[in-house]
Amino acid sequence: MIEWYKKVVFENYANFKGRARRSEYWYFVLANFLVLIVAAVIDNIAGITFGPVGYGFIYMAYSLATILPNLAVSVRRLHDVNKSGWFILIALIPIIGAIWLLVLFCTEGDRGTNQYGADPKNNDEIGEIGVKSDY
């Protein structure tokens, strides 16, 4: 999970091109969620929360720092199901839009190459993580 998180946040920080597998997207979401919980706990222990909301400066700083990687991996995930990145705006439709977007994020990607690139399942990405390259 940590390897996927590093891949999304550090290697593909603002990469809106290509495709992201379901595992890449959901491991990032899980790791992001866990870090946000820890940040909220630290904010509460340190007493730096914004009134009764339960989070503070650390939580907000981390949230702001991960907006771009979160958006990028979401767009790449939509590309994997052959949808435009602009399709993320479907979430603005109350209730139905968020459900539809969740279904798209959970749907298996297109097999083979689509208009956004090669099938990421054909590449052994996770096997390549941590392996030194020649460049």
Q: Is the pLDDT of residue 126 over 80?
A: no
Average pLDDT, the chain: 85
For 122, the token pair is 């054909």
Q: Please give, one letter per residue, the 3-state secondary structure of 106-119.
A: HCCCCCCCECCECC
Task: Identify whether the C-beta of residue 63 lies closer than 8 Å to the C-beta of residue 22.
Answer: no
- Which pLDDT band, with edges at 50, 70 and 90, does 130 fall under? very low
- Residue 125 burial (10 A CB sphere; 0-12, 13-18, 19+): middle
Contact call for residues 80 and 74 (beta carbons, < 8 A):
no
> Token pair for residue 118?
């090669």
Residue 101's pLDDT is what?
95
Q: What is the pLDDT of residue 133?
A: 45
Least confident interval from 32-41, 107-116, 117-126: 117-126
pLDDT of residue 88: 94
pLDDT of residue 13: 81
pLDDT band at 7 (very low <50, low <70, confident <90, very high): confident
Task: Decide if pLDDT at 123 tops 70.
Answer: no
Is pLDDT above 90 for 119?
no
pLDDT of residue 12: 78
* Structure confidence by residue, pLDDT tens digits, 34-79: 999 999 999 999 988 887 887 899 999 999 999 999 999 999 999 9
